[in-house]
Amino acid sequence: MKYMKKSFSKMVPYHSGLITDGIILNANESPFEPPLRVKEEIVKQSSNIEYNRYPDMDEMELNKAIGAHYGINPECITCGVGSDELLDVVFRCVLEKNDKVLGFSPSFSMYQVFTELVGGEYIPVYGDSNMIFSIDKMIEEISKHNPKMVLICTPNNPTGQYIEEKDVRRIIESTDALILLDLAYIDFAKYDYCKLALEYDNVISFKTFSKAMALPSIRCGYAISNKDNIDMINSVKAPYSVTTFSQLAAKIAISNFDLYKSQIDEIKNERERLYDELKKLGFNVYHSEANFLYVLMDDKYNELLLNNKIYIRKFKSGVYRITIGSKYENDKLLEVIKNA
């Protein structure tokens, strides 16, 4: 990377290998395809797409569908190429060189990358020995560092911790910093409070179609906030970034959210079962309200899983994240581990 500027010299490409064979439990994907009625409607309506025309830059029909789902004004919504694009845009809109960003740690690795891309300083606020984040500690660190931006991922990736709404409010009300609520996994939690972003001027919520909605292939996410913050995002976001097909598929999915509820419930039930089974086997497993579990285990188990074409996410030696699969997939994983 000889042309990369010196300030980026320590960055490495973000990479997730394409796996097409075996049991894939490493990317927090849904083990299920979208409901059949959703797939059939996408196929049916996609035949009407004018492929020789640009997409609707304002995602009007999709934003109306998202607005109808939550009962909010479509003007308070914008969409992007996954929620990643929208997060990146906000970092570029808001941060200047040496501005500080606080976020719980460990969390999504791209937060630090987005910060460094604009010359900001990312300050992690670590959890305790049990990976539990302290709200009081975050508020103390906010007071100490006076950041421009604060990141809250809940349920948190990779630990799975869900931060209660009352605690999120405490953080929001402790500062004038811009609060980014990354809620990619909140459909697997007890309560979705994405509409908090409409109660405060300094909050933007981010959600995605990649997790509970089982549509990572269309790369579509959305932000919810007041119109002023949405206008800010749209002023910097690349034009036509969300394809016509992605807008169509996302609109159909969100309009039929009820069809996903049985899938979400099954993932949640399997999450609790897998948690219990791994605990019985003596592993250190962290309670999660997402579609994955954060597990400490000897690397030999991962080697055995790989030998059986079962793929989980390794962060470092002894630290893993296991996506919740179907019952069959989870049983296969447990079988390999029990046999060891």
Residue-wise pLDDT for 266-305, tens only, equals: 999 999 999 999 999 999 999 999 999 999 999 999 999 9
- What is the rounded distance in angstroms from the CA atom of residue 260 to the CA atom of residue 94? 35
Which pLDDT does position 251 carry in this prediction?
Answer: 98
b/e burial code for range 126-151 (CB count within 10 A of at least 16 → b): ebeeebebebeebbebbeebebbbbb
Percentage of the chain lying above the pLDDT 70 cut:
99
Phi, psi of 195 (to 5 degrees): -75, 0
Lowest-pLDDT range of 9-23, 43-57, 245-259 = 9-23
| Mean of the per-residue pLDDT values of the chain | 96
Report CA Rg, the chain. Answer: 20
Q: How many CB atoms lie within 10 A of CB 25?
A: 26
Q: Which domains does the chain have, with CATH numbers?
A: 19-33+260-339 (3.90.1150.10), 36-255 (3.40.640.10)
Helix 327-339 / helix 299-307 crossing angle, nearest 10 deg: 120
> pLDDT grade, residue 338 (50/70/90)?
very high
Q: In the predicted model, is pLDDT for residue 213 greater than 90?
A: yes
More confident: 7 or 309 = 309
Location of structure tokens 């109808």: 68
Q: What is the pTM of this model?
A: 0.94
Instruction: Give Cα 213 distance to the centre of its chain.
Output: 12
Q: In the predicted model, is pLDDT for residue 16 greater than 70?
A: no
Contact 98, 122 (CB under 8 A): no
